[in-house]
A and B are shown apart, each in its own frame.
Chain A
Amino acid sequence: MSAPPPGDAPFPPGVDVAEADDPTAAADVEARADALATGSDRGAEAVVGRWSSPGGRLLRTALALVAFFAVVAVLWEAFKWLAGDPWRLEGILGTSLSYEHFPPFRVLQATDLQLPHLWSIAEALAAPVQRSQETSLFTYLVGAAAYTLAEALIGFLLGSAIGIALASVFVHSRLAERALLPYVIASQTIPIVALAPIIVVSFGRGLTSVVIISTYLTFFPVTIAMVRGLRSPDPRALELMRSYAASRWAIYRKVRLPASIPYLFTALKIAAAASVVGAIIGEAPGGVKEGLGRALVNFNQQYITGPEKLWGTILVAALAGISFYVVVRIVEVLVLRDRGRQEA
């Protein structure tokens, strides 16, 4: 394939490269480009496939979480090593050896009362809740977390449904959006701790109030993200649908809704964590005894005699929120597995 000599016939601009002796050469080139495109896709898969396949994405999430906890644990104990209370380990592995550590500094926030050792927290979690009982603190807390998660799940589902519904209305009606969106935003400027008792007074103590509070924290991020997601389709995609004489409903179902799914999941991950927080906050004024909220209040009151219990509860509460997040993340990766590469 050679370029034509300069000064040749009036070549149209841009075609000189493809001007070949063999008329099928151009076709071959594109065929080869196609083969390369699909081939390199597979080649790239081999290099980054571990991270872009669904399993790889989940592995990456898992590793990030493990790394996060490891870093927190190291910082935690490093702080105590430098500035905590002195401690002593006797009879290491059944020998008569013992080890003592005297931190070089003293900082109030690193004392055993403020910041117990991680192994003290682990011991407390393994010990019975109360002297007379058999269940360990951990077992008790997991039960409480399950209860709270169930409340949070209801709030999460309701809040997400409300968010999706509101966003769907806003996208189809500028009037509704302008009338209601300011209230949606204003609703989030009221501190939830101030609002929670009012909700409990209005709806009575119990599950209903807790779910309402959880819903209240969930619907907002979903609404905002869904408005963006439903507006995200390429304007030409909407022109295309218009050329199909598609109804608004068809456009919503076939284009807007599927296009919004990545946005929805970003919001659902935030909402998952927020719904757990909402449920915990609601449990105290709501008078729900079975959940983590009550456990937090109780162990807060017993802090002087057993700070490890409160810290253990905090740990379990965090794990509850994270496990909810992880479930949403798994669903996200599965649902979006066929779309092109996108950010986690």
Chain B
Amino acid sequence: MSGSVAAGAVPAVRVSGVRKAFPVKGGGETVALEEIDLTIERGEFISLIGPSGCGKSTLLRVVGDLVAPSAGSVEVNGKPAARARLDRDYGMVFQAPVLFDWRSVEANVRLPLEIQGVGGSERDARVREMLELVELGGFAKHYPHQLSGGMQQRVAIARALAFQPALLLMDEPFGALDEMTRERLNAEVLRVWARTGTTVIFVTHSIPEAVFLSTRVVVMSARPGRISDVIPIDLPQPRDEETRETDRYYELVTEVREALRAHHGPAAGSVASLERARAEGGIG
């Protein structure tokens, strides 16, 4: 899985000239995104990284047609984003699992299929397959409150994949988990990505996470949110725990950190503190 596709194929995502401004009370506006151009090939794993307020979550939402851009256009698989949403091309995973506490694990994963109108044995089979994929086959009948945070997030991933979406949008899905759980889930996401061939856009505050997962890391800067750098990650696939100990991995981590620092001064180098200092409002 190299992420590059034969020239001429329709890209998974094409963002051109996107600008997003939010009106501010008392007149004026806050510009969250400015001049965003980004093309993502099918099967790529793209991380969006940047300080709080750089608009990376907004960009994710614009791509997912949850927020309309003020200018510019988004095409997904050659279709406008709104069309892609209606065609159910998206899977979404948020920082919180957002599971429904009145539904069992399997019923949570089944929800998107119920809405899509997939019925009967096909639906049940798909649910079982997705739960196996995230290694929660034995927890189908459990309720969310009986699971750990990491397990809940895996249910959310299984649910996002239930449609077999062309594009998986993940908004800091592991930001609230401890480091060890996060690393384990990173490996799991890579495995799922390799098996399903889904294109992934992944918002994160963590440099190591971005480097470990991605085929390309998109570095953003704040006020207004812009893409300041795109760093290809040429670590070989498949990646595992040993990848994290290679020299190339450290070089890339350093490269991403320097790209972040270049645009935000020395303070922005400590992304770990940024992770905690998440005071994000409408922009994120």
Contact = CB atoms under 8 A, between A and B. Distances in A.
Q: Do A and B bind each other?
A: yes
B18 interface: no
Counting chain B CB atoms within 10 Å of each CB, which of A26, A234, A259, A336 scores highest? A26
Contacts of A261: 102
Given A14-B272, A339-B101, A26 B145 contact: no
Given A17-B180, A244-B116, A339-B101, A12 B86 contact: no
B184 A27 contact: yes
B124 interface: no
Counting chain A CB atoms within 10 Å of each CB, which of B112, B151, B180, B242 scores highest? B180
Contacts of A97: none
B33 interface: no
Given A34-B151, A241-B115, A243-B66, A23 B241 contact: yes
Contacts of B144: 340
Contact of B242 (A12, A23, A27, A241): A23
B253 A12 contact: yes
A10 interface: yes
A19 B183 CA distance: 10
A243 B104 contact: no
Contact of A341 (B145, B151, B206, B270): B145
Interface residues of B, number: 57
B250 to A, nearest CB: 6
Interface stretch (A171-179, A223-231, A250-258, A317-325): A250-258
Sorting the interface of chain A by its residue count into under 10, 10 to 19, 20 to 34 or 35 or more gives: 35 or more
B123 interface: no
A189 interface: no
B150 interface: yes
B100 interface: yes
Contacts of A259: 100, 102
B contact face: mostly helix, strand, loop, or mixed: helix
Counting chain B CB atoms within 10 Å of each CB, which of A240, A246, A338 scores highest? A240
A234 B96 contact: yes
A246 B88 CA distance: 10
Interface in B73-120: 85-88, 90-92, 94, 96, 98, 100-104, 111-112, 114-116
A30 B143 CA distance: 19
A198 B108 CA distance: 51
B183 to A, nearest CB: 5
A34 B241 contact: no
Contact of A17 (B112, B179, B185, B254): B179
Contacts of A23: 240-242
A13 B65 CA distance: 33
Contact of B100 (A19, A242, A255, A336): A255
B210 to A, nearest CB: 10
Contacts of A165: none
Contacts of B66: 239, 242-243
A236 interface: yes
Contacts of B270: 13
A237 B254 contact: no
Contacts of B180: 17-18, 26, 29-30, 33
Contacts of A236: 94, 96, 98
A340 B101 contact: yes
A338 B102 contact: yes
Interface in A300-344: 336, 338-341
A250 B115 contact: yes
Given A12-B207, A13-B270, A340-B101, A41 B150 contact: no
Contacts of A41: 146
B184 A30 contact: yes
B208 interface: yes
B30 interface: no
B182 to A, nearest CB: 9
B121 interface: no
Contacts of A18: 179-180, 183
Contacts of B98: 234, 236-237, 240
Interface in B246-261: 250, 253-254
Nearest to A241: B115
A26 B100 contact: no
Contacts of A14: 179, 206, 208, 272
7 tightest Cβ-Cβ pairs between the two chains A and B: A340-B145, A37-B148, A23-B241, A13-B272, A12-B208, A30-B184, A243-B92
Given A34-B151, A239-B92, 7 more contacts: A19-B245, A27-B184, A37-B147, A38-B148, A259-B102, A339-B101, A339-B102
Interface of B: 61, 64-66, 85-88, 90-92, 94, 96, 98, 100-104, 111-112, 114-116, 142-148, 150-151, 163, 169, 179-181, 183-185, 187, 206-208, 211, 240-242, 244-245, 250, 253-254, 270-272
